[in-house]
Amino acid sequence: RAAGWQGILNPAPARELIDGLEGVILTPNADEARRLSGEHDVAAATRALSARTGAPVLITLGADGALLDGESFPAPPVDVVDTTGAGDAVNGALAAQLAAGEPLRDAVAFALAAASLSTRSPGARAGMPRRADVLAAL
């Protein structure tokens, strides 16, 4: 962050958040968001986590896509074989798109498409899609 880059943290597995996360985009799944915030409702968890960091919160919902500060983003439908690595695909694709200067909402759509495509093959590495595949899915 000191160099001007956007911080992104997937707080998994959920455990107490450290201090110093101001401005960091958190990307927990719904269960992790509830555990991290102490809230039972995902919307309340989003607000609590965003208040903690002062940054957007992207809550992943598996096949249902994600919520970015309460706004719903769908995941492209695919025939799922293995979800191993889907969270990593979200975070890697999100980071790459933000580093390339893409707006956050566009980066989220790209990241969800990458994650969806990553579930079509067994294993984390084998399933990671190429950029062209993600763009074609959008």
> Per-residue DSSP letters for the chain?
-TTSPPPEE---S--PPPS--TTPEE--BHHHHHHHHT-SSHHHHHHHHHHHHSS-BEEE-GGG-EEETTEEEPPPP---S--TTHHHHHHHHHHHHHHTT--HHHHHHHHHHHHHHHTTSSSHHHHPPPHHHHHHH-
Instruction: Out of 79, 88, 106, 133, pick the active-site residue.
Output: 88
Q: Would you call 88 a catalytic residue per the annotation? A: yes
**Which residues are identified as catalytic?**
88
